[in-house]
Amino acid sequence: MKEKPDVLQGTLALMVLKTLDVLGPQHGWGIARRIEQISGDLLAVNQGTLYPLLLKLEHEGSIASEWGASKNNRRARFYRLTGAGRKQLQAETREWEQTAAIIARFFNVKAEDLP
Amino acid sequence: MRFLRRFLIRLSNFVTRRSADQRLREEIAEHLAFQTEENLRAGMSPTEARRQAVLKLGAAEAIRQDHHAEQSLPLVENLLFDLKYAVRMLGRSPGFAFVAIATIALGIGATTAIYSVLDATLLHPLPYPNPAELIRIQDDLPGVGAQGVGISIPELRDLQSSGIFQSTSITGTGANVNLTGGEQPLRLSFKQVTPNYFAVLGVDAQLGRTFDPHDATPGYNLEVVISDGLWRREFAADPHILGKTLRLDNDAYQVVGVMPRAFRDQGSTSEEQNVELWLGAGFAGLPFPPPLRGSRLGSRVVVARLKPGLSIAAAQAHLDALVESLKKQYPEEYPAHTAWTVRLIPLSESVVGSIRQSLILLFGAVGLVLLISCVNVANLLLARASARGREIAVRQALGAERTRLIRQLLTESLLLFLLGGIAGFAILFSARKFLLQLVPESLPHLNNISISWGVLAFALAVSVVAGTVFGLAPAWLMSRVDLIGTLKQEGRGSNGSRERSRARQILVIGELALSLVLMVSAGLLLRSFWDLYKLQPGFNPERVMAVQTWLPGPNDPAADIYRTATEEAVLLREILRRSRTLPGVEEAAVGDRTALPLGHSHPSPLPLVREGIETMDNQAPQIDSPIVSPEYFHLLAMPLLRGRLFNDQDLEVTPQVAIINQAAARTYWPGQDPLGKRVRLSLTSRDVSSSGPLPWTTIIGVIADARTESLADSGIPQLYRSVYQRPAKSLAIFLRGQLDPRAVSAQMREQVQTVDPELPVFQAETLDDVLSSSLSVRRFSMEMVAFFAATALLLAGLGIYGTISYLVNEQRREIAIRLALGAQRGNILKMVLRRGLGLAAAGAALGVAGALIVSHLMAGLLFGVSPTDLPTFAGVTVVLTAVALAASYIPALRAMRLDPITALHSE
């Protein structure tokens, strides 16, 4: 089995953090559905890969989890962003925007712009 | 940081074995329920909704594995699994496990034992802070072939102000002193030291203080620091000891401090390390010679501490420059042809002394034994490969990766080696008391030898390294199984073993070569020892005992009741008269400590100034000068060759006379008649005490050379003087006759103390014992190397037996067919024996080459036998070949008796 490239892992983590930041505490399926909704069919991720990632984030201290009840009274594990997670999200967002900006600049360069 | 946190949580999960599996399963179930509900809402049928939900989730097993990997530490888990498996595998072949572990235990146990000696002597010789800064300073006059001539006080002051050293001290080399006032007069070892001595070593007193460098006096300052041992033994650890007065050689010294229990003085002999009293002295005023540049303090040692961060080489360069400028400044004192130099020697080196080479030899020998035992185990592992070929092939067929297999096999061999190492260490630890008794007492730092944590770490490290190195090759070869071939051969071992069998043969050849090297070393040492042991020493030690005493030498010569030879002669004649009345005594003589054959570790040579031969100051040769009574030569059966011996008419008032040995005659009067020649054993021509001119001493006799200084060297010049002309403080009373060694000490004490109750009597020993203990280090290393060589031979024999059995087993089919076709059984026997002989020949050829190198390296330890001694080499090769043949004979017999029908049927 090939491991997923790090970029994807990193982005997925960022998506999870952002989702929790926007929506507040969510259970696994909620996070998965939200990511799916936003990215549409462009990002075809097996929903299952989310769980090892959630565990990793929890080990790193970015998120915390506890059992709770869902809207329709199902028992589910709810994940929420911790203070450290929020800080991490901010830092990674900044980094991501920087990277994206640099890449964008490269794409916008035309042959005649070069000296 | 985050990574660390993750790792710690995983580690704690692993240790507490908390499983998140349950949690994941519940979560996935919830997830599926949510998704199914959603799908139902989208209008799917219940079955379809469920199916789509599972599809969307992905492969549950892969998720679980990922999750588990995130949860725990897979590497460690694998390792634990491998370990469990390895333990099971070893348990399944207990015979193999036992032999392998015992072999490794032998190798590692022996290596660790020698390492513990090395650790205490070579590696940690100095129990002082920052030992690397401590050095000994030695003055040499290479121009006249004189070494260690001693420093003079003005030179010491130059060194102190040179900026090279933090501090510089002078110390004696350990001498006798009488402590009186107790129940029995005690002879103790003391050192005179400059007051900064302890500051140089960097050790402070546990009680009171050491000497204060500021109250340095030119002579003695009448303060004494005592050892913890003496304090407990003689003074019952009296806390009020400070300020008490000790009577040492009739002088009153005030106790100012007690050294800590762990403190041991530096020095290369056990005597020096057992110093129990330290007296402060300046070495610059009476009773020492006046501090002139020319008066060197012969038998003193200069110990100094370098400025921090200064390397010895850099310090030596500074010192050389200083010496050059001093030579220019005082050309009179340092004539160019004496080539005065000052050398810095690391203190650790000078403390270990001559034992170094023997220890390195032992470590080399035990290293070879370790190597051989490892090779043997590697060989066993390879032998097992054929039995396990199928198992490995099956695992590979089921998809085990090769690296994974190697890791598994390596875990097994590591476990084996670690168990062996631990067993070896445990045996060593429980036998340490017994083993320490085998170590000769003359070994420096004997008391520091211990089986410590460092030694345990060494044993474990050796096990791991050996396990990896010698486990890797068999693992590599084992994992290279020809899958299909092995699996096709139902029930038989593996083929593709040609490579392994070649590897095994190479290993056996290596083993044989290594054991030949060891056996040659042992053989050469044995011959050296035997030659020394059988040697005619030139004197007759049989039925002779020596008992020692010490006459006090107070600081004020006027207070010395044995100041002159005439005064001392009264005492000595009375002691000798009384000794002759003891039961069994036939002859008695007396001499100083230098006259005790082979029994003194500090020859203190004197400068020899010959009349008529121009001798500038401090360039005279040095000569040992024992002081003896006239009966000495007859008692020890040392024959007179020319002239006459001392007689009772040679007294202090008659002209001074001396007897030399042949070596002295040869060396100092080549081609001349030494009789009647006159010498002086002092550089100054004036007597320090009476300030009259020093009289010349006339040579009156020449005796045959005897090995009294060293058994290995007969040609050391000696010049004997009469005790009735020249007083001596350190005395040995020699008795010949039918003596009871246990009773002599008490009998002599009674007789001596009837004459003077203040004299101690100690160290009664037979000359045979002295002789044999002078060989103790040689005997020790010879016995150890011989033991190691025997072990190596045994292991090599086992190795060749195993390999030949294996080869015979491999060739069962071939042999059976040959037999079935009518081959002679004798030919089969010859064929197998030829294999064994081939291995032995290859091993012997390699081994002889190795032994030639090793024997030249150890030439310094040999005596009377050349490093290329043909009989030793030939004998050892014959023994090795015989053992190889004997070891191959059993499998050869088995091959010869093979029943072709059963053998071919069983295939």
Q: In sequence order, what are the residues at sequence separation of 6 or more whose Cβ sits closer than 8 angstroms to the Cβ of residue B322?
A: B158, B159, B162, B164, B342
Write down which residue in B758, B784, B814 finishes a domain.
B758
Tell me: do B594 and B641 sit in the same domain.
Answer: yes
Tell me, yes or no, whether B243 lies in a domain. yes
Return the structure tokens found at B580: 């002759």
Q: What is the pLDDT of residue B497?
A: 61
Return the structure tokens found at A65: 């989890």
Rg (CA), chain B: 38
If one counts every other C-beta atom within 10 angstroms of the C-beta of residue B560, the result is 19
Q: Which of B611, B617, B621 is nearest to B717 (CA)?
A: B621
**What's the burial of B298, exposed, middle or buried (CB within 10 Å: 0-12/13-18/19+)?**
middle
The band of A7, judged by pLDDT with boundaries at 50, 70 and 90, is very low
Pick the range with the lowest mean pLDDT from B430-434, B570-574, B644-648, B684-688. Answer: B684-688
Q: What is the pLDDT of residue B871?
A: 92
Give B746 or B69, the one with higher predicted confidence: B746
**Residue B578 pLDDT more than 90?**
yes
Tell me: do B725 and B579 sit in the same domain.
Answer: yes
Rounded distance between C-alpha atoms, residue B602 and residue A86, angstroms: 80
Q: Is B170 helix (H, G, I), strand (E, B) or coil?
A: strand
Q: Which of B418, B388, B395, B415 is nearest to B79 (CA)?
A: B415
**Residue B352 pLDDT more than 80?**
no
| Bridge partners (DSSP) listed for residue B824 | none
Q: In sequence order, what are the residues at sequence separation of 6 or more whose Cβ sits closer than 8 angstroms to the Cβ of residue A114?
A: none
Contact B769, B545 (CB under 8 A): no
Q: What is the pLDDT of residue B724?
A: 92
**Residue B859 pLDDT more than 50?**
yes
| Bridge partners (DSSP) listed for residue B346 | B135
Rounded distance between C-alpha atoms, residue B90 and residue B419, angstroms: 11
Question: Quick check: A47 and B71 CB within 8 A?
Answer: no
User: pLDDT tens digits for B446-460?
Assistant: 667 778 888 899 999
User: pLDDT tens digits for B802-818?
Assistant: 888 888 887 888 888 88
Instruction: Please check whether residue A83 touches B, CB under 8 A.
Output: no
Q: What is the pLDDT of residue B675?
A: 92
Q: What is the pLDDT of residue B637?
A: 92
Tell me, yes or no, whether B232 lies in a domain. yes
User: pLDDT tens digits for B410-436?
Assistant: 888 899 999 999 999 999 989 888 888
Q: What is the pTM of this model?
A: 0.73
**What's the burial of B356, exposed, middle or buried (CB within 10 Å: 0-12/13-18/19+)?**
middle
Question: Quick check: B30 and A49 CB within 8 A?
Answer: no
Q: For residue B202, is it left (φ>0), alpha (ψ between -120 and 50) or beta?
A: left
Tell me: do B187 and B325 sit in the same domain.
Answer: yes
Measure CB to CB from residue B5 to each of A52, A59, A76 and give the nearest one: A59
Instruction: Please check whether residue A34 touches B, CB under 8 A.
Output: no
**Residue B493 pLDDT more than 60?**
no
Rounded distance between C-alpha atoms, residue B333 and residue B294, angstroms: 6
Return the structure tokens found at B159: 């060194």
Residues B255-276: what's their mean pLDDT? 81
Rounded distance between C-alpha atoms, residue B469 and residue B104, angstroms: 14
**Residue B187 pLDDT more than 80?**
yes
- What percent of chain B has pLDDT above 70? 92
- The CA-atom distances, in angstroms, between B551 and each of B230, B234, B250 are 21, 21, 10
The residue count of chain B comes to: 907
Rounded distance between C-alpha atoms, residue B203 and residue B264, angstroms: 10
Q: What is the pLDDT of residue B268?
A: 64
Mutate to test the interface with A, among B1, B2, B73 (most CBs of A within 10 A): B2
Rounded distance between C-alpha atoms, residue B631 and residue B587, angstroms: 8
Tell me: do B494 and B594 sit in the same domain.
Answer: no
Return the structure tokens found at B896: 């010869």
Rg (CA), chain A: 17
Question: DSSP labels for B669-695?
Answer: STTS--TT-EEESSSSSB-TTT-SBPP
Using the CB atoms, write b or e for B186-206: b if 16+ within 10 Å.
bbbbbbbbbbbbbbbbebebe
Size of the A and B interface in Cβ pairs below 8 Å: 72
Give yes or no for a cis peptide into B693 (omega within 30° of 0). no
Mutate to test the interface with B, among A6, A33, A56, A89 (most CBs of B within 10 A): A56
Q: Which of B857, B888, B208, B112 is nearest to B453 (CA)?
A: B112
Residues B180-207: what's their mean pLDDT? 87
User: pLDDT tens digits for A18-58?
Assistant: 888 888 888 888 888 888 788 766 665 677 778 888 888 88
Tell me: do B335 and B438 sit in the same domain.
Answer: no
The total number of structural domains in chain B stands at 4
Instruction: Please check whether residue B9 touches A, CB under 8 A.
Output: yes
Q: Kindly give the interhelix angle for B153-160 and B312-329, rounded to the nearest 10 degrees.
A: 130
Q: Which of A56, A72, A62, A61 is nearest to A18 (CA)?
A: A62
For B572, the domain range is 552-758
Rounded distance between C-alpha atoms, residue B51 and residue B45, angstroms: 10
Name chain A contacts of B56, Cβ cutoff 8 Å.
46-47
**Residue B61 pLDDT more than 80?**
no
Return the structure tokens found at B242: 């400070």
Element of type H or E holding B366: helix B355-397
- The CA-atom distances, in angstroms, between A32 and each of A51, B120, B607 are 10, 67, 100
Tell me: do B726 and B630 sit in the same domain.
Answer: yes
Tell me: do B597 and B685 sit in the same domain.
Answer: yes
Distance from CA of B81 to the nearest CA of A (A): 22
Name chain A contacts of B34, Cβ cutoff 8 Å.
27, 29-30, 70, 74, 76
Q: What is the pLDDT of residue B692?
A: 67
Tell me: do B648 and B742 sit in the same domain.
Answer: yes
Residues B392-414: what's their mean pLDDT? 84
What is the largest distance, in Å, between two alpha-carbon atoms of chain A? 65
**Residue B831 pLDDT more than 70?**
yes
Question: Quick check: B34 and A27 CB within 8 A?
Answer: yes
Task: Delineate the domains of chain A, giving CATH numbers in brackets.
Answer: 6-109 (1.10.10.10)
Q: What is the pLDDT of residue B576?
A: 93
Tell me, yes or no, whether B345 lies in a domain. no
Q: What is the pLDDT of residue B632?
A: 94
Return the structure tokens found at B146: 């004189």
Contact B376, B337 (CB under 8 A): no
Q: What is the pLDDT of residue B17?
A: 57
Contact B126, B351 (CB under 8 A): yes
B460 residue type, one letter: L
Rounded distance between C-alpha atoms, residue B188 and residue B174, angstroms: 10
**Residue B884 pLDDT more than 60?**
yes
Q: Is B657 helix (H, G, I), strand (E, B) or coil?
A: strand
Q: In whole numbers, what is the pLDDT of chain B averaged over residues?
A: 84
**Residue B896 pLDDT more than 90?**
no
**Residue A5 pLDDT more than 70?**
no
Residues B621-634: what's their mean pLDDT? 90
The band of B823, judged by pLDDT with boundaries at 50, 70 and 90, is confident
Tell me, yes or no, whether B82 lies in a domain. no
Rounded distance between C-alpha atoms, residue B664 and residue B705, angstroms: 9
Instruction: Please check whether residue B446 touches A, CB under 8 A.
Output: no
For A79, which residue in chain B has the nearest alpha carbon?
A: B27
Instruction: Please check whether residue B2 touches A, CB under 8 A.
Output: yes
Instruction: Please check whether residue A46 touches B, CB under 8 A.
Output: yes
Question: Quick check: A47 and B66 CB within 8 A?
Answer: no
Q: For residue B75, is it left (φ>0), alpha (ψ between -120 and 50) or beta?
A: alpha
Tell me: do B148 and B290 sit in the same domain.
Answer: yes
Tell me, yes or no, whether B596 lies in a domain. yes
Mutate to test the interface with A, among B30, B61, B68 (most CBs of A within 10 A): B30
Q: Which of B110, B100, B103 is nearest to B787 (CA)?
A: B110
E-strand stretches of chain A:
26-27, 63-69, 75-81
Q: In sequence order, what are the residues at sequence separation of 6 or more whose Cβ sits closer than 8 angstroms to the Cβ of residue A55?
A: B20, B67, B70, B71
Element of type H or E holding B286: none
Residues B72-81: what's their mean pLDDT? 76
| DSSP code at position B718 | B
Q: What are phi and psi of B622, to 5 degrees?
A: -105, 145
Contact B307, B239 (CB under 8 A): no
Instruction: Please check whether residue A94 touches B, CB under 8 A.
Output: no
Distance from CA of B4 to the nearest CA of A (A): 9
Tell me: do B623 and B737 sit in the same domain.
Answer: yes
Portion 63-122 of B in contact with A at CB < 8 A: 63, 66-67, 69-71
Residues B156-163: what's their mean pLDDT? 87
Pick the range with the lowest mean pLDDT from A82-91, B78-87, B299-308, B690-699. Answer: B690-699
Rounded distance between C-alpha atoms, residue B585 and residue B596, angstroms: 18
**Residue B262 pLDDT more than 50?**
yes
Rounded distance between C-alpha atoms, residue B635 and residue B545, angstroms: 11
Tell me, yes or no, whether B611 lies in a domain. yes
Question: Quick check: B62 and A1 CB within 8 A?
Answer: yes
Q: What is the pLDDT of residue A4?
A: 40
Count CA atoms closer than 13 A to B680's CA, side-chain side.
18
- The CA-atom distances, in angstroms, between B1 and each of A60, A61, B76, B843 are 9, 11, 22, 57
CA angle B122, B523, B768 (to 5 degrees): 75
Question: DSSP labels for B774-790?
Answer: HTHHHHHHHHHHHHHHH
**What's the burial of B185, exposed, middle or buried (CB within 10 Å: 0-12/13-18/19+)?**
buried
Measure CB to CB from residue A29 to each of B31, B66, B70 and give the nearest one: B31
Tell me, yes or no, whether B788 lies in a domain. yes
Question: Quick check: B30 and A46 CB within 8 A?
Answer: no
For A77, which residue in chain B has the nearest alpha carbon?
A: B27
Tell me: do B670 and B717 sit in the same domain.
Answer: yes
Measure CB to CB from residue A46 to each of B20, B35, B58 and give the nearest one: B58
Distance from CA of B9 to the nearest CA of A (A): 7
Rounded distance between C-alpha atoms, residue B758 and residue B753, angstroms: 7
Instruction: Please check whether residue B34 touches A, CB under 8 A.
Output: yes
User: pLDDT tens digits for B503-558?
Assistant: 888 888 998 999 999 999 999 989 988 888 888 888 998 999 999 998 888 877 77
Contact B679, B719 (CB under 8 A): yes
Mutate to test the interface with B, among A6, A43, A45, A47 (most CBs of B within 10 A): A47
**Residue B495 pLDDT more than 60?**
no
Give B542 or A60, the one with higher predicted confidence: B542
Question: Quick check: A74 and B34 CB within 8 A?
Answer: yes
Tell me, yes or no, whether B346 lies in a domain. no
Count CA atoms closer than 13 A to B140's CA, side-chain side.
13
The band of B2, judged by pLDDT with boundaries at 50, 70 and 90, is low
Q: For residue B737, is it left (φ>0), alpha (ψ between -120 and 50) or beta?
A: left
Contact B578, B756 (CB under 8 A): no
Q: Is B352 helix (H, G, I), strand (E, B) or coil?
A: helix
B206 residue type, one letter: Q
Tell me: do B430 and B474 sit in the same domain.
Answer: yes
**Residue B579 pLDDT more than 70?**
yes
Distance from CA of B393 to the nearest CA of A (A): 24
Question: Quick check: A52 and B67 CB within 8 A?
Answer: yes
Return the structure tokens found at A112: 């005649």
